[in-house]
Amino acid sequence: MAVKTAAPTRDGQSINNSLRGTLLHHLTLILLPTLLIGTALTYFVAVHRVRDVFDMNLLDVAHDLQRAVEVRDGRLVLDLPPAAQEMVRTANRDRISYVLWNPQQGLIGGDEDLLELDQQIEADFFASQKDRSYKFAAAHFRGRNQRFVQLVATVAGHPLYVTVAQTAGALNGIQRSIFASVFFLGILLTAVALSGVYIGVRRGLKPIAALSAAISLRSSANLTALTTAQAPHELRPIVDNINSLLERLELSLLAHRHFIADAAHQLRTPLAALSAQFEVALKIPPTDTHATLAQMYATTQRASHLANQLLSLARLEHTDQIPQTTETLTLEEILRAVLPRCVLAAESAGIELEFDTKPCRIFGNRILLEELFSNLLDNEIRYVQRGGHVKMLAQQHNETVQISLIDNGPGVPADELEKLGTAFFRADSSNHNGCGLGLAIGREIVRLHKGNMEFLGAGDQGGLRIDIQLPSA
């Protein structure tokens, strides 16, 4: 089976994808027919004007012959000396024939065989009007193509018909000369026009090449905005969008650097503690080893939990779409997978969990949604004091599932609420047992599901309220 491939350009891209090629193609499709039609119209107009001049000369000869006719003894007579007749019959390389006649008198002068032509002339009325007394025609006479003029006049009350014929050698020669000139000028104009189009397109696309060069100079170390001062009006929206992208990329890289720095700082603490505990374990007597191992185990668990959350957050922050398959889920089955571990942790922490949830159907990714509620409940258990309670409310509104988590913990100052959900942020009122990633992970999961997460004060008694909107099925 044959496979078609597009012809490559110098930069390796298909000609079909070349902006320059597309512009040249469309401009040529418009320019060439326009030049061809213009050349053809110029030729035909010039030919008709030359033929008009040719015919007017024949008409002048017919009028001169008419004026040479006199009435003698009641008959029409052509009073034209032989020398004058010879001058009339000569026109450069062409020969002129004429005949003058009257319906009653018959032939008055000239070539008698022209009388037979009256029945053959196929009238060409392009220069005649109804009030004119002449008409032009073309016919094949004496073995040659000739132009004719037929003039109807009156001399002293006698009708007079004057027919003048001239061979078309000079006319054909002029027409051939016009054709050669117009054809040559048409080719010249076409070449000049195509060259102008090519140069114009090439110069017109220079700003794109300059923009490409300016973009190629940008790197992760140089994300300065592109200048729009010299950019053409059509390119300014593109430049503005590129600058907006560079700005977002710079903010993303800055956030990434802060994330790495914060992650390094967070990991350094448990690793340093673990190293110190190993050092102590090497020095203490064997009878105290169990307590030291328990501390080392707790520190290892903290470091492992922190590393897992860091990986989860890094994966979610650099994703614009849900990576796994989405499906229709009920809130009940999501909580059923999360609650066993959370209930045990809540009992150990002395915290009461309360659920007032209506049947809700959520469209999303099972694994991410389970991680969302696991992190939210884990965060509540970590930061609510012993004896406190956490309540979950859920109900479905049209295309949205509304979920609220309300606790009676220490709460968060109003000026710090907007910082919640930021990686490594922990409110001053917290007990600092967490690492500040649970809410950040939850916020990213909600974002991937095209939802919204909002943090509010729970009321006058303190506490925190987390409102979540997720798309319903």
pLDDT at residue number 10? 45
pLDDT at residue number 312? 63
pLDDT at residue number 128? 42
Q: Pairing relation of β-strands 389-397 and 352-357?
A: parallel
- Could you tell me the residue ranges of all domains in the chain? 12-204, 233-315, 322-471
In Å, how far from its chain's centre is CA 471? 33
User: Of all helices (H) and strands (E), which one includes residue 372?
Assistant: helix 366-383
pLDDT at residue number 2? 42
pLDDT at residue number 431? 52
Which residue, among 305, 455, 309, 306, has the nearest Cα to 380 in the 3D structure? 455
| pLDDT mean for each 10 residues of the chain (473 residues) | 42 58 83 86 89 88 89 86 80 82 86 69 41 78 83 87 86 85 86 85 81 79 77 80 83 70 62 70 66 69 65 61 74 88 86 89 86 85 86 88 87 78 64 66 83 81 84 83
Residue 462, sorted as left (phi over 0), alpha (psi -120 to 50) or beta, turns out to be left
Q: Which residues of 349-379 are buried (b: 16+ CB within 10 A; e: fewer)?
A: eebebeeeeeebebbbbbebbbbbbbbbbbb
pLDDT at residue number 357? 87
pLDDT at residue number 122? 38
pTM for the model: 0.46
Which residue, among 379, 378, 375, 377, has the nearest Cα to 392 in the 3D structure? 377
Sequence-ordered list of residues with C-beta below 8 angstroms from that of 401, at least 6 positions apart, any chain: 331, 360, 361, 362, 394, 395, 469, 470, 471, 472
Q: So what's the architecture of 233-315 in CATH?
A: Orthogonal Bundle (1.10)
pLDDT at residue number 289? 66
Domain 322-471: what homologous superfamily?
A: Histidine kinase-like ATPase, C-terminal domain (3.30.565.10)
| Residues 32/33/34/36 CA torsion (nearest 10 deg) | 90
**pLDDT, tens digit (0-9, with 9 covering 90-100), for 132-146:** 688 888 877 777 888
Which residue, among 409, 386, 400, 388, has the nearest Cα to 455 in the 3D structure? 409
pLDDT at residue number 17? 66
pLDDT at residue number 449? 84
pLDDT at residue number 322? 62
